[in-house]
Chain A
Amino acid sequence: MIAEVIVYLFLGIGTAFNALGIAGLLRFPDMYTRMHATTKMTTFGTMFTALAVVIYAIVMYLAGDGVIFPGLAIHTLIAAFALAFTNAVGSHALARAAHKSGIKPSPAVVDRLEEAGL
């Protein structure tokens, strides 16, 4: 009973944060703010979705039905870790490349990165 509530709560948190990220992707004015919304929100939401699956697998394994649940939990944890690291590095590379290709933030006044000449 309590495990069901926790799994539904984590699934709800994950789906709500994914929806907030998509809302930011559709509503924000320029590329950097869109990236700011989607990268953090979808990483957080997908990690909470994976955490719900891990808790479900652990509870089902302790209840004693099914032999696939330890593998399910371990592989889901590996997927969540891979997603956490690759999303951060990928969004950083994308933002740097966008700045180098000349896309400016929409109400930008000061550009310290261009002044530093990197």
Chain B
Amino acid sequence: MTILWLPFVLILVILVGLALIRLYLGPTAGDRAVAVDTVNTLVVAIMILLGVYFQEVIYIDVAIVFALLSFVSTLFIAKYLGGEL
């Protein structure tokens, strides 16, 4: 069974580029934080697809660590926006 993984990776990379438009335009800091959160989620999906395309489990381990660390960064951005830091 051969699946064409790369077209889906390409579509997700284009979606990351579209999210970067909101990161550039966003009128408030909250909009930019939401855009960064979206990009983090999409990068996890891209890493999973690339891991199964290259048949390397280590890419998916990197995706797990990236998901947890981006969660920590989102919490710190939220604390800074709320004025608690």
Interface residues, chain A, CB within 8 Å of chain B? 3-4, 7-8, 11, 14-15, 18-19, 21-22, 25-26, 31, 34-35, 38-39, 42-43, 45-46, 49-50, 53, 56-57, 59-60, 63, 66, 68, 71-72, 75-76, 78-79, 82-83, 86-87, 89-91, 93-94, 96-98, 100-101, 103
Contacts and interface: CB of A to CB of B under 8 A. Distances in A.
A4 B11 CA distance: 19
Interface in B43-58: 44-45, 48-49, 51-52, 55, 57
B81 to A, nearest CB: 4
A97 B11 contact: no
B interface secondary structure, majority: helix
Contact of B64 (A7, A72, A75, A94): A75
Interface size class of B (residues with CB under 8 A): 35 or more
A19 B79 contact: no
Nearest to A36: B34
Contacts of A53: 48-49, 52
B8 A42 contact: no
A interface secondary structure, majority: helix
Contacts of B75: 89-90, 93
B38 A21 contact: yes
B63 A22 contact: no
Nearest to A85: B71
B22 A25 contact: yes
B19 to A, nearest CB: 6
Nearest to A80: B48
Nearest to A63: B1
Nearest to B43: A46
Contacts of A66: 55
Contacts of B28: 31, 98, 103
A26 B83 contact: no
A26 B22 contact: yes
Given A53-B48, A101-B81, A25 B1 contact: no
